Amino acid sequence: MQLIIIQHTQSVHHTNKMIGAHTNWELTSKGVSDAISIANYLDTLDLQDFKLISSDLMRAKQVAEIISRKLNLKVSYCKKLREVDLGEATGKSVSWFNEYKTKETEDMFSYKPFPSAESNYDLYIRMSSVRQELIKRNENVIIVSHGGAINFLIRSFISEDINIAKSISFRGSAGGITIASYDEGFKINKFNQQI
């Protein structure tokens, strides 16, 4: 199984200092331009047998639709590919988040900044279920998602052992493309490639 994992390009929340999380911020004009560049790059690859799935949040959805039009692929939307849910901070500014979040704990994997937010553990479990579905389907896939979700999707592919998953992290950037494969094990060929 081949995986092309794309972090959505620049969104309005990247420029206005607001929380992304489960909001429907649109792409900026730069984000649209970068998404077109990504689609053009993908068009140079042999992707005839690939499926396209995306988070259903607007910023990822817009990138997926641009790719869909260029590659003539139908997009399937998946709520599980959404960014981490930050609960009460959703729709608030980053400064509000920093002022009102709960005190951080030693175990940052189970820490929740707000009572209704997801912890890193919750996100890992959600992304592990995505990994299991992908392995079961065993199809080549282009995935469009969000930084936090992608971090934990990759962690889940590397190890099902929660202690190993706690000890690793992958930080991508807007528009980053990760190319990987999963056969008898997980292999990253390119990480966070910028076009």
Average pLDDT over residues 167-176: 92
Q: Please give the pLDDT value at position 35.
A: 98
CB 109 within 8 Å of CB 119? yes
Average pLDDT over residues 22-37: 96
CA angle 3, 62, 114 (to 5 degrees): 85
Please state, rounded to an integer, the average pLDDT across all residues of the chain. 95
Nearest C-alpha neighbor of 78 from the set 37, 121, 129: 129
Q: Please give the pLDDT value at position 111.
A: 94
Neighbour count for residue 185 (Cβ, 10 Å): 8
Query: Is 90 exceeded by the pLDDT of residue 129?
Result: yes
Q: Cα(145)–Cα(2) distance, rounded to whole angstroms?
A: 16
Query: Is 90 exceeded by the pLDDT of residue 107?
Result: no
- Of the candidate CATH numbers 2.20.25.90, 3.40.50.920, 1.20.272.10, 3.40.50.1240, the domain formed by 2-193 belongs to 3.40.50.1240
Nearest C-alpha neighbor of 148 from the set 80, 59, 85, 84: 84
pTM as predicted: 0.95
Q: pLDDT class for 177, splitting at 50, 70, 90?
A: very high
Q: Please give the pLDDT value at position 94.
A: 95
Contacts of 31 (CB under 8 A, 6+ apart): 8, 9, 10, 11, 14, 59, 62, 63, 174, 175
What are the structural domain ranges in the chain? 2-193
